[in-house]
Structure 1
């Protein structure tokens, strides 16, 4: 692999992400949306699994500039835990893919092996024919556990 190549990440649908979390007690879910999205749209609820959600903004308001501390903040929230699987979630699956690649690149540079997985469709999913989210696909449409603050 040359230095300019982006790390390869895998992708799963939300239900498969939930199944991974159910089956692997070390897997983590990283929600990369903004604080406003967490507060007003909701977040995945992992309490039935006895797990916590990692929340680290990939981009920050007001101008959606990339969080320069993203990878560091993800790793800090892990503490001493180094999972073999990281699942990344955003609104529709775009920011989470970028976040997954960034974390994968850092882990590879540090000599760690881990799968970084993008959750396709994200939390709210793709736009429908009326330009609305939450109707086509995504975590909420799959009726996976979630809550609002």
Structure 2
């Protein structure tokens, strides 16, 4: 798996229109915190029990289509940790071009335990929307 900063991921997505951009945060995060423009939602894990979604790989395969093994997949979560785990699962399932967005959508915590103040997709001013 390759790791891209948010800006690198944005540039990669712009130059690779066939890439699939997956936001793997919870449904509530995706809907209420916001998400990158163009990102499709497939939860890696979700409440109330926060167990790993047993259908994650299958759902991504369905979105990726018949060329799922060779299609680039870019994953983003809140801070880059869940998306790295999800990327490992995709690689084990045969995906060959998996990219993780480091620092994720909201970025690392600052000294006051706030996000989006140090790094991440929103901090970098990249396109995002809220439902």
TM-score class, shorter: over 0.9
C-alpha displacement of 1:28: 1.4
Give, in whole Å, the separation in 2 of the partners of 1:130 and 1:60. 26
| 1:146 partnered with 2:101 | no
TM normalised by structure 1 equals 0.83
Give secondary structure in 2 for the equivalent of 1:126: coil
Aligned-CA RMSD value: 1.3
Tell me if the contact between 1:89 and 1:122 (Cα under 8 Å) persists in the aligned partners. yes
1:65 corresponds to which residue? 51
1:86 corresponds to which residue? 73
1:50 corresponds to which residue? none
C-alpha displacement of 1:81: 4.9
Give, in whole Å, the separation in 2 of the partners of 1:98 and 1:19. 23
Q: Can you list the C-alpha shifts for 1:109-143, whole angstroms capped at 9, x where unaligned?
A: xxxxx211110000000000000011111000010
Aligned pair partner of 2:102 in 95, 120, 135: 120
Tell me if the contact between 1:54 and 1:77 (Cα under 8 Å) persists in the aligned partners. no
1:77 corresponds to which residue? 63
Give, in whole Å, the separation in 2 of the partners of 1:63 and 1:130. 27
2:16 corresponds to which residue? 24
C-alpha displacement of 1:84: 3.2
Tell me if the contact between 1:54 and 1:74 (Cα under 8 Å) persists in the aligned partners. no
Give secondary structure in 1 for the equivalent of 2:90: helix
TM normalised by structure 2 equals 0.93
Flag structure 1 segments of 5+ consecutive residues without an equivalent: 1-8, 47-52, 109-113
1:33 corresponds to which residue? 25
Give, in whole Å, the separation in 1 of the partners of 2:65 and 2:14. 21
| 1:98 partnered with 2:85 | yes
Rg (Cα) greater in structure: 1
